[in-house]
């Protein structure tokens, strides 16, 4: 049985922590709960005590056992600590080493892994000071469970909702399973560049052409690599996705901008994963003004863009190169051809004509074709789970 210390701070999402306590307990974890003073404005210690069947801790100076210092004892007892919800206030305190309540004192004293599930208004979440504080905590080894998007207590529909208890439980379960897997630590401290999303090629001041890529697979890979300890650089075309926390984010528009961004960073990278859907052609002439409608047909002349994956394959030195092949037919044939022609170490192929796993879908199913002849089929799952499996398959091979 693993010991989970749950820290509940003062946000309206504190009600979800009761459900989280129940789910953790039912899954066989021994759960002890700490509440800040502000958390008790939303939920009561009795609710957590009834579910966890353990004493609930609210006051650093209310020592239940005179032979112990309770915040040190709890810090040593925990196999993992979960802060859910984590308010902007508590995140900022932790990032600056403040210990003015039971929760912050215990968190500063623990050596167990700490999982933080933020919950706050989207503008608070994106405030530079909060972004910096979360980045600092991540550099200390704290693990963030990114908030979801939806209706917030303030009335906004945006990112900032505490992740659902079932998802948090799955993350904790996966963490303890991964501790038995030596591949978990293979990315610690490694530099990974990931491209994601579509490129946009301008025709005139109003019009452009692009593709249907949502960027979800690339963003999932960036978040998974981050969670596995890598230093991640994400080069992204325009998407509707929120920027992943804790990664270096480079926004680009065109294929040329993406190429320049990748080229300027490639030498410092250990692994490069090119998941973006990059335009193969761009208009030869771009008009500064809006093109006016005329009688008859319109003919536009296009020129080839730089083949980024081919360039990387020709110029790589120590980098492990991963490409994607989004195909509608003859998937295996095209993937194997791309593997040879682009000098990649692995090509990840998916059948985008299948709407259940294609563009904009939350799920994916891919087959990995490795340079050494290995082939690995990853059956349909969420793109987040597929991302972790892709990285595990890569890390078992790339160093050799």
CB 395 within 8 A of CB 230: no
Q: What are the tokens at 324?
A: 């994607």
Could you tell me which residues come within 8 angstroms of residue 108 by beta carbon, excluding any fewer than 6 positions away? 94, 97, 99
154 is catalytic: yes
Is residue 190 marked as binding? no
Distance CA 110, CA 71 (A): 9
The distance in angstroms from the start CA to the end CA of the chain is 37
Q: For residue 331, what are the CA distances in angstroms to 69, 319, 363?
A: 62, 26, 18
Q: Which long-range contacts (CB under 8 A, 24 or more apart) does 290-299 make?
A: 290/204, 290/205, 290/206, 290/207, 291/203, 291/204, 291/206, 291/207
Strands 302-304 and 281-283 turn out to be antiparallel
Q: What are the tokens at 6?
A: 């749950």
> Exactly one of 50, 72, 154, 157 is catalytic; which is it?
154
**SS3 state of residue 301:** coil
138 closest CA partner among 118, 164, 159, 155: 118
115 closest CA partner among 95, 89, 92, 141: 141
Is residue 363 marked as binding? no
Backbone φ and ψ of 150, nearest 5°: 160, -165
**SS3 state of residue 326:** strand
Could you tell me which residues come within 8 angstroms of residue 188 by beta carbon, excluding any fewer than 6 positions away? 228, 229, 230
Q: What are the tokens at 9?
A: 């701070």
Could you tell me which residues come within 8 angstroms of residue 88 by beta carbon, excluding any fewer than 6 positions away? 118, 120, 124, 125, 127, 130
Is residue 295 marked as binding? no
Query: Over the Cα atoms of the chain, what is R_g?
Result: 24
Handedness of CA 296, 301, 305, 310 (dihedral sign): positive
Query: Which amino acids are annotated as binding site for CTP, given as ranges?
Result: 280, 290, 324, 338, 342
Q: Could you list the active site residues?
A: 154
Query: Which amino acids are annotated as binding site, given as ranges?
Result: 280, 290, 324, 338, 342
């Amino acid at each position: 049985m693993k010991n989970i210390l749950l820290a509940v701070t003062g946000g309206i999402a504190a009600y979800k922590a009761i459900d989280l306590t129940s789910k953790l307990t039912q899954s066989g974890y021994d759960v002890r709960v700490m509440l800040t003073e502000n958390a008790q404005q939303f939920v009561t210690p009795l609710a957590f005590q009834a579910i966890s069947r353990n004493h609930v801790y609210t006051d650093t100076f209310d020592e239940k056992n005179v032979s112990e210092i309770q915040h040190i004892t709890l810090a040593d007892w925990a196999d993992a600590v979960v802060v859910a919800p984590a308010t902007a206030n508590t995140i900022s305190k932790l990032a600056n080493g403040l210990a003015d309540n039971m929760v912050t004192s215990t968190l500063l004293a623990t050596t167990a892994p700490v999982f933080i599930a933020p919950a706050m208004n989207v503008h608070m979440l994106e405030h530079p000071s909060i972004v910096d504080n979360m980045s600092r905590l991540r550099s200390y080894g704290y693990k963030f469970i990114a908030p979801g998007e939806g209706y917030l207590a303030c009335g906004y529909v945006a990112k900032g909702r505490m992740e659902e208890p079932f998802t948090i439980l799955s993350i904790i379960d996966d963490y303890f399973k991964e501790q038995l897997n030596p591949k978990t630590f293979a990315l610690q401290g490694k530099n990974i560049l990931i491209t994601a999303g579509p490129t946009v090629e301008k025709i005139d001041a109003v019009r452009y052409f692009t593709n249907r890529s949502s960027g979800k697979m690339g963003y999932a890979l960036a978040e998974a690599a981050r969670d596995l300890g890598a230093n991640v650089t994400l080069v992204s075309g325009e998407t509707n996705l929120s920027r992943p926390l804790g990664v270096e984010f480079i926004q680009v528009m065109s294929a040329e901008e993406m190429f320049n961004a990748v080229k300027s960073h490639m030498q410092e990278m250990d692994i490069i994963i090119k998941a973006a859907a990059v335009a193969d052609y761009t208009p030869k002439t771009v008009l500064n003004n809006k093109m006016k409608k005329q009688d008859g047909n319109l003919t536009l002349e296009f020129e080839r863009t730089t083949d980024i994956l081919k360039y990387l394959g020709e110029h790589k030195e120590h980098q492990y190169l991963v490409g994607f092949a989004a195909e509608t037919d003859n998937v295996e044939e095209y993937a194997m051809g791309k593997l040879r022609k682009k000098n990649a170490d692995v090509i990840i192929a998916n059948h985008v004509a299948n709407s259940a796993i294609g563009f904009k879908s939350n799920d994916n199913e891919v087959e990995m074709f490795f340079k050494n002849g290995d082939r690995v089929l990853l059956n349909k799952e969420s793109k987040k789970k597929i991302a972790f499996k892709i990285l595990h398959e890569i890390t078992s091979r790339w160093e050799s």
